Structure 1
């Protein structure tokens, strides 16, 4: 009998979950194989001795040929991707080989934030006021219509890349020039969403199929950017707020034609209730799967792969804990002289993981998005308050110093 293989198309950024997919596939008795235009970009491929094949992952025909070649040796059990930008391609490839997968058209519509907004508006889903612009004149006109402050963001993208709050017309002009002046890398023709700034607590809803698995509370670092500071599962919500958030989230799924596999929906609780910020047609990125498993005992990556290969999943919660992550983000640009305390932090009872992405002597230039994160600490306990205490203590044990590019050495706190 041929070995059953799980095909993974590319991976995402350093906060993606490619290694978790590989580990889960092996636990399920599958042979993980990564198809990538540049397999060497993923360090864990060599570290974990994973089969990787170089192929043009932007070409459906090239992927079909490669999967057909692999099917001579392996029984291809399923095809998926840990990268949002390749999830629709995984859906198209799955359909070609008559395997389970998401609706690629629904995923593609959802990845276009403007198309997503228009569809949600037809269903009366509460959203911030928004306009679409392609040049500075349109940005300024739409901002005046929506009313300052506004958020400018690329119509396609992830990780808060290119997203900024603009509180006046000077900031608006500055960020428009950044987006359209060649500094921002566009995935398509430049299109800018001009959105109302919906003020209120920020939540993320993790869904598998049509079932809400968990809701987290997200704290961001200082404005005008939206860089994650902390994520906590579960969010503290009364029953009315919880039910309202769930109702709005499921309406999003119906409207966008989602409901197969994983979805994560970000929203804010405002004076008018839940307001949808965006719907992501994929598994939550970053540390979300680890936090969900710590909080509820549900392994979202494994259950997702079960769905991909046609097996039955199990979303039953095994326990109810609180789990939280604090991201390590430098307060300034410069050269990282040293970073210490990781082992002491990891030894704190209740700390589940400490991870640092960078080494000393690294040049740090903040971008105002996910790339500013240089590491994180995850903690868990039976209560919200205790988890917060553990997390803060563990983070306080980590320190680093940064020499600004001007040359004056400055000690830095590790978490903001």
Structure 2
């Protein structure tokens, strides 16, 4: 029996590793959050942790288990696990992404250092190592500028500074970790998702965002729809993603989630890329739209297994995710969704207290929405979002029968 060590920050319903590996002779060894432990409880090797992202007992336990069970592959799909998995591969000399590659896909400054001067335009940027750097960068490039953490996902901590007052407000209460500053890029944002096998991108598909990655801050929904092959931006975005992957120390096998702007003057500008599957409803939408389960295929690649077969018949479909509002969730609609809903995911329960959206990849309700075309899918998303807004019920957080406060729930991944 072979073993694969899995850093599992997703619920079992989303990533049923033992079902995917059934009949392969490979058994998953799972390290997961306390929240998701019950879902994996029927497996032989399950270890759950509080404060999963920062608890270093995760690494210690992973090393012990990898040695005891002679693990020969490591799988980690969450942004917070990319580096810890790479460091473990280095230590044990196991195949897969190593630390230098993980840093290039995690650290936005290292990432842009690899890409600057290449075929895809990169915004002007600098490591924000002090307030002096911010002042000098603004003096050189003018407003607006964007400040964001170098290694967070889902637009967490990102700030657009449009004038001196915005800069002063940021400097008075800066992000607690390391940040970068870059020029603001106007335009529409797109994401490109895919799979790399044996060093080659074997699946690359571009999507158009509806709304934007900061919509969650106003408790507004966001989503994305795949571009049709005949769309004028389809080939451009595929080529841009392939060029970025070629410049970075891309792992031999990985999924990826890249973001680009198309500017009003028709330039393609790089935003960022991650060596993992997109968050929100991206993976589910890909499965419905293209008949491929990115996480399953990535797991198979990491384990040295041939590509699997099967999946739903491809059809036009996109992902819609809705953040929580502020207050007590009184009623979460889980039935009577419009007929265009192909799949639904809910992460909250009545009685929970929420404080609005936390990051773009985390949602209260997510839907895969179908249609006859890209335009039809986008129109149906508007319809589903309006249905949800009319059916969900909230009450003020100071209501006497409110349950204890919680943050926005962890969905099936980090960011889009």
Structure 2 counterparts to residues 31-110 of structure 1, below 5 A: 31-36=27-32, 39-46=33-40, 49=43, 51-53=45-47, 63-71=62-70, 76=71, 78-94=73-89, 99-110=94-105
Query: Which residues of structure 1 form unaligned runs of 5+?
Result: 185-189, 408-416
CA change 1:306–1:276 in 2 (3 A) is: same
CA-to-aligned-CA distance 1:331-350 (integer Å, 9 cap, x gap)? x53333x22432111xx333
Aligned partner of 2:184 among 176, 197, 200 = 197
Task: Give distance in 2, aligned partners of 1:224 and 1:166.
Answer: 18
1:292–1:299 Cα contact (<8 Å) kept: yes
Q: Report what 1:267 is aligned to.
A: 260
Report the alpha carbon displacement of residue 259 of structure 1 after superposing the two structures with TM. Answer: 4.8
Greater displacement, 104-113 / 358-367: 358-367
CA-to-aligned-CA distance 1:251-308 (integer Å, 9 cap, x gap)? 2112111152222211111124211100112222232221111001111111111111
Q: Report what 1:339 is aligned to.
A: 331
Q: Report what 2:4 is aligned to.
A: 6
Task: Give distance in 2, aligned partners of 1:92 and 1:17.
Answer: 28
Aligned partner of 1:136 among 114, 127, 131 = 131
Q: Report what 2:164 is aligned to.
A: 169
Q: Report what 1:24 is aligned to.
A: 20
Task: Give distance in 1, aligned partners of 2:349 and 2:139.
Answer: 45
Query: Which residues of structure 2 form unaligned runs of 5+?
Result: 50-54, 400-416
Report the alpha carbon displacement of residue 40 of structure 1 after superposing the two structures with TM. Answer: 1.8
Report the alpha carbon displacement of residue 375 of structure 1 after superposing the two structures with TM. Answer: 1.6
2:194–2:202 Cα contact (<8 Å) kept: yes
CA-to-aligned-CA distance 1:202-254 (integer Å, 9 cap, x gap)? 11111212234311111326669598833333125756532222222122112
1:252 matched to 2:244? The reply is yes
Greater displacement, 314-323 / 368-377: 314-323
SS at match of 1:286: coil
1:216 matched to 2:207? The reply is yes
Q: Report what 1:148 is aligned to.
A: 143
Q: Report what 1:298 is aligned to.
A: 292
SS at match of 1:179: coil
Query: RMSD of the TM alignment (CA)?
Result: 3.4
1:227–1:368 Cα contact (<8 Å) kept: no
Greater displacement, 223-232 / 288-297: 223-232
Report the alpha carbon displacement of residue 387 of structure 1 after superposing the two structures with TM. Answer: 2.6
Aligned partner of 1:364 among 354, 357, 366 = 354
Greater displacement, 267-276 / 374-383: 374-383
Task: Give distance in 2, aligned partners of 1:48 and 1:176.
Answer: 49
Report the alpha carbon displacement of residue 310 of structure 1 after superposing the two structures with TM. Answer: 0.6
Task: Give distance in 2, aligned partners of 1:326 and 1:214.
Answer: 17
Report the alpha carbon displacement of residue 97 of structure 1 after superposing the two structures with TM. Answer: 5.2
2:229–2:235 Cα contact (<8 Å) kept: no
Q: Report what 2:234 is aligned to.
A: 242
Task: Give distance in 1, aligned partners of 2:394 and 2:352.
Answer: 10
1:377 matched to 2:353? The reply is no
CA change 1:226–1:101 in 2 (3 A) is: farther
Report the alpha carbon displacement of residue 26 of structure 1 after superposing the two structures with TM. Answer: 4.3
Task: Give distance in 2, aligned partners of 1:315 and 1:178.
Answer: 51
Report the alpha carbon displacement of residue 315 of structure 1 after superposing the two structures with TM. Answer: 8.8
Task: Give distance in 1, aligned partners of 2:220 and 2:123.
Answer: 20
SS at match of 2:299: helix
1:60–1:89 Cα contact (<8 Å) kept: yes
CA change 1:89–1:341 in 2 (3 A) is: closer
Report the TM-score when normalising by structure 2: 0.80
